[in-house]
Structure 1
Amino acid sequence: MKVVTLVLLVSATFGAVRFSCAESTKPNVLLLITDEHNFRTLGCYRELMSRPQAEMWGEGAIVETPNLDRIAKEGVIGTRAYATAPVCTPCRAAMITGRYPHHTGAPQNNMVLDRRVPTLADRLGDAGYRTAFIGKWHLGGPGKPEWKPKVDGGFQSTEYMFNRGHWKKFEIVDGKPRVGARKNGKPTYGVDDANEKTFATDWLTDRAIEFIEQPQDTPFLTVISYPDPHGPNTVRAPYDHRFDDLPFAPPRTYQTGVAPPKWLGGETKHPVFRGSDMSRYFGMVQCIDDNIGRLLDRLEQSGQLDNTLIVMTSDHGDLCYEHDRQNKGNPYEGSARVPMLMRFPGTIPAGTVYRKPMGTIDVTPTVIGLLGLSGNPDDEGRDLSQELKSADSENTSSITFLRNAGTKAGWVAAVDERYKLIISINDRPWLFDAEQDPDELLNFYNRPGTDGVAERLATALLEYSRRTDDPYFANQRISDSLDMILQADGEQ
């Protein structure tokens, strides 16, 4: 009996030690980035929207995303999250640094990230994390695909980082990764009978699981950057035809005959709506969701899930025929608004709906804050960690800012919980009201009932321009438009 008692006592003691060690282990970080992802394709967003908004491409034309929905239900969903610049490179630069695009060295596509600016990888590497970036980087210049880019943001493991491109099939040859679809010896965007082991989304997920499951005593930062659901709209079987029978229809904003805002640019050829195009887009989304489910399962099986901060977002949206457009680059919701989900049990309450505006520039400061690490005084993004921990907390700066990609001013915008003010070089101010006109067809600037709204957002834009020295505000037309709004406020 004494021996048995001693064994039980020792077992209990060591069990307590193991439990104590697990409790004191630094949390892991898993950052999931999709590319050109319309937020309406996530079920967790549709649940919070009216049916016409949720089913933009036809009544009943939806794709189920149970694994992304799980992240939202067990954490927080941001309903007013925006790409700081709705194009790949500048948004990714802001996301990974917490600085505005014009302070990252990469305000437009294919420019090179300024390595004098510390990244999330630098900061977590200094804190003892092992770091990996797997997938599309797009911050190393024009290289395509350029595996292991010369400019890699300070990530330690970059074997499966490629600079840019929307490749559909990967393989490992002679121990090195390469694009699996080829023509005349050169990589192509073809699917080429890719399967669950070679299709890009599956292949990248496998590489991430391999890194996460390496036996290590240190926590990980793993970034998985999927090149989908960006075009070309192709996906492996069975996702390629899974949604063909859905009743797809053009969005309500398609070919309305209403004159578009001039900040959209010159005349454009209206894309012909094709349900098959949306079917493949849905297929890419569901393939991503299934792979995220694999990640969640593996983390759960290894006991790491609840000690991992999971963040899911995208670098921009895809209009998917809304307003007679595809892709991105403008401030419409379908282009600029992005998914933003975070799961961190014990820190972020489950089922939190964060309705205040946030930007992708806030990702790095907020991750640092959620981990309890010291912030960087040069961060321009906001640390929203305290707000996400408590739904009742107040935000003193509930406005986010976005701008066109590039080095020349086109438009700038300020977004609050309801309104979006857009100031451009070639049009009058535009004010969208998400409550009265979620389709963004009407300009509410100077309309009755909006007194003071444009002026408040214009004041915030002016403060932003001074605080960040944004060169776009040196443009005379931007400056004049801003002055016009503020002077009108002074005359009232």
Structure 2
Amino acid sequence: MSQFNRHLFAKQALLTLVLVLIPSLARGATDSPPNVLLIITDEHNFRTLGCYRERMPREQAEMWGPDVVVPTPHLDRIAKEGVICTRAYATSPVCSPCRAAMITGRYPHNTGVPQNDLVLDRSIPTLADRLNDAGYRTGFFGKWHLGGKGKPEWEPKVDGGFQFKKYMFNRGHWKKLVIENGKALVGARKNGEPSYSVDGADQTTFATDWLTDRAIDYVTDKTQHDPFLAVISYPDPHGPNSVRAPYDHRFDDLRFAAPRTFQTGIPSPKWLGGKGKHEIFRGKDMSKYFGMVQCIDDNVGKLLERMDEANLLENTLVIMTSDHGDLCYEHDRLNKGNPYEGSARVPMLIRFPRRIAAGKVYTQPVGTVDLTPTVMGLLGRDGNAADQGRDLSAELAGNSNSPIDPANPPITFLRSSGIKTNWVAAIDDRYKLVLSTSDVPWLFDAKLDPDELLNFFRRPGTEGVAERLGKALQEYGTKTNDPAFVDPTIAASLKQVLGAKK
């Protein structure tokens, strides 16, 4: 064989080998277990995300005044390249109970954490436990709030099964974090104790930035080859409303105005509480709130960029949500704890190119209790028989064989925090029914009254709606053993609803 023919033969053999290996390599990349990145914010009003605003009438999108918005291009990217859930809710709109439901797939009263600062029942398999068993490495970065009263309690004893917890702290809304002698610490002090002060925090020590950097190190660690579950739990934009420069004054020039629902004079539901209480509207507080949101968005952008550079992003299920909202002066209130939209509705964005097409919009109700079963479903893994949340993976991926019955649409359930429940709610794609210990049944209509100022219970045009939601609440209470329905006032309200004429 001539030298020319030998070279030609070698090239042909190499080409044949490459053609044989390429499909195999492609299959290997596709078949490798996907990673999971869960981003949780704290007390986050959904209207601060552009991807939600663009789907609302302007008066709803710009709740704090014309053109008063905060840009969130990186969070919006998750929605545009995946699915946005437009009717997602905190199963209990307070930190600990919602987080317990989120990480276990069970309702808060069945997790050992129906209210803040209680300890998670570790007999329940968490998302971390399940993925540990599947060969994942699991890490948690930031606020946990399921280990009791420890504050901050780094590396809490009750950790939900997360293997890497060096940068997990139990509770608190710290602004400055540092590492000293290899250990994580709160960097701001007052009288020798950890403080919420920003204390000159910069892009390396401000909590949002610091946690992002720690998470980036974890997910891009080239010495690790197992798939990962990484949870990054930011303590912002929860109060105190303070943020590092330059975000602290970036929105000061906006002309913030009180929401339309602020001091309307229309009687509020009694379950709102705080009779006669009115907040004093402070635009500067909203400016700082916007600053916290944009700092989070910029850090999410940094995180996604680094994952993209490491060729991780396309094989990662990315989820962004929050443990509850913040009324931000709607209905004369700040913070959370009630079933109003600003308090209970949360962002829920999911990007997973393997199964979810870009640009999807899911308009049916979702509860944070659905998160763990849905993650397992999207990963193609079995759920737990005791899960009380729903596996929505087929619906979100658009391959469900069960069309939605308009006469019996999906419903999610909410409950107040506390050993003794003050209210429960059932929500479908339009209506919200609230039963409480302190008031008549309330029915909200998101189409006719998105500001939630009026009670539509037994109003013309709503025939059968409250009864349908009430029946669903009754079934939920029985199925999950929710003690709320033992309360005589809630039981009487349910009876009143079920007795309503169609």
Category of TM-score, reference length = shorter chain: over 0.9
SS at match of 1:423: strand
Is the contact made by 1:30 and 1:309 (CA closer than 8 Å) also made in structure 2? yes
1:107 maps to 2:114: yes
> In structure 1, what is the Cα distance between the partners aligned to 2:178 and 2:208?
12
1:477 maps to 2:484: no
> In structure 2, what is the Cα distance between the partners aligned to 1:70 and 1:225?
19
What is the Cα deviation at residue 184 of structure 1?
2.5
What is the Cα deviation at residue 265 of structure 1?
1.6
> In structure 1, what is the Cα distance between the partners aligned to 2:455 and 2:43?
26
Deviation string 1:170-211 (CA, Å, 9 cap, x unpaired) is: 000000000011122211000011111000000000000011
- The 5 A counterparts of 1:255-266 are 255-266=263-274
Q: Which residue of 2 aligns with 1:398?
A: 410
Q: Which residue of 2 aligns with 1:413?
A: 425
> In structure 2, what is the Cα distance between the partners aligned to 1:445 and 1:24?
52
Residue 440 of structure 1, aligned match among 436, 444, 452: 452
Is the contact made by 2:315 and 2:354 (CA closer than 8 Å) also made in structure 1? no
Residue 441 of structure 2, aligned match among 408, 429, 443: 429
> In structure 2, what is the Cα distance between the partners aligned to 1:42 and 1:133?
24
Deviation string 1:91-110 (CA, Å, 9 cap, x unpaired) is: 00000000000000000000
> In structure 1, what is the Cα distance between the partners aligned to 2:250 and 2:241?
14
SS at match of 1:52: helix
Is the contact made by 1:354 and 1:391 (CA closer than 8 Å) also made in structure 2? no
- The 5 A counterparts of 1:44-443 are 44-215=51-222, 216-390=224-398, 394-395=403-404, 398-443=410-455
Q: Give the counterpart letter for 1:127 in structure 2.
A: A
Q: Which residue of 1 aligns with 2:464?
A: 452
Q: Which moved more, 1:39-48 or 1:176-185?
A: 176-185
Q: Give the counterpart letter for 1:24 in structure 2.
A: D
SS at match of 2:381: coil
> In structure 2, what is the Cα distance between the partners aligned to 1:244 and 1:14?
58
Unaligned runs of 5+ residues in structure 2 are 1-6
> In structure 2, what is the Cα distance between the partners aligned to 1:51 and 1:142?
42
Identify if the C-alpha distance between structure 1 residues 268 and 133 changes in structure 2 by more than 3 Å, giving closer, same or farther.
Answer: farther
Q: Which moved more, 1:473-482 or 1:389-398?
A: 389-398
Give the percent of matched residue pairs that are identical in Structure 1 and Structure 2.
Answer: 67
SS at match of 2:364: strand
Deviation string 1:429-455 (CA, Å, 9 cap, x unpaired) is: 100000000000001111111111111
> In structure 1, what is the Cα distance between the partners aligned to 2:425 and 2:497?
14
Q: Which residue of 2 aligns with 1:20?
A: 27
Q: Give the counterpart letter for 1:247 in structure 2.
A: R
Unaligned runs of 5+ residues in structure 1 are none
What is the Cα deviation at residue 251 of structure 1?
0.2
SS at match of 1:94: helix
Q: Give the counterpart letter for 1:356 in structure 2.
A: Q
What is the Cα deviation at residue 269 of structure 1?
2.8
> In structure 1, what is the Cα distance between the partners aligned to 2:221 and 2:472?
47
What is the Cα deviation at residue 45 of structure 1?
0.2
Is the contact made by 1:75 and 1:350 (CA closer than 8 Å) also made in structure 2? yes
> In structure 2, what is the Cα distance between the partners aligned to 1:184 and 1:402?
41
Alignment length (residue pairs): 490
Whose radius of gyration is greater, 1 or 2?
Answer: 2
What is the Cα deviation at residue 346 of structure 1?
2.8
Q: CA RMSD in A?
A: 1.3
What is the Cα deviation at residue 21 of structure 1?
2.1
What is the Cα deviation at residue 15 of structure 1?
5.0
> In structure 2, what is the Cα distance between the partners aligned to 1:241 and 1:380?
44
> In structure 1, what is the Cα distance between the partners aligned to 2:152 and 2:435?
36
> In structure 1, what is the Cα distance between the partners aligned to 2:399 and 2:347?
19
> In structure 1, what is the Cα distance between the partners aligned to 2:90 and 2:323?
6
Q: Give the counterpart letter for 2:45 in structure 1.
A: N
Is the contact made by 1:167 and 1:188 (CA closer than 8 Å) also made in structure 2? yes
1:465 maps to 2:477: yes
Q: Which moved more, 1:276-285 or 1:178-187?
A: 178-187
Q: Give the counterpart letter for 1:224 in structure 2.
A: I
> In structure 2, what is the Cα distance between the partners aligned to 1:132 and 1:475?
40
> In structure 2, what is the Cα distance between the partners aligned to 1:39 and 1:391?
27
> In structure 1, what is the Cα distance between the partners aligned to 2:367 and 2:118?
21
When normalised by structure 2's length, the TM-score is: 0.96
> In structure 2, what is the Cα distance between the partners aligned to 1:463 and 1:330?
22
Deviation string 1:126-184 (CA, Å, 9 cap, x unpaired) is: 01110001100000000000000000000000000000000000000000000011122
> In structure 2, what is the Cα distance between the partners aligned to 1:395 and 1:179?
49
> In structure 2, what is the Cα distance between the partners aligned to 1:70 and 1:445?
39
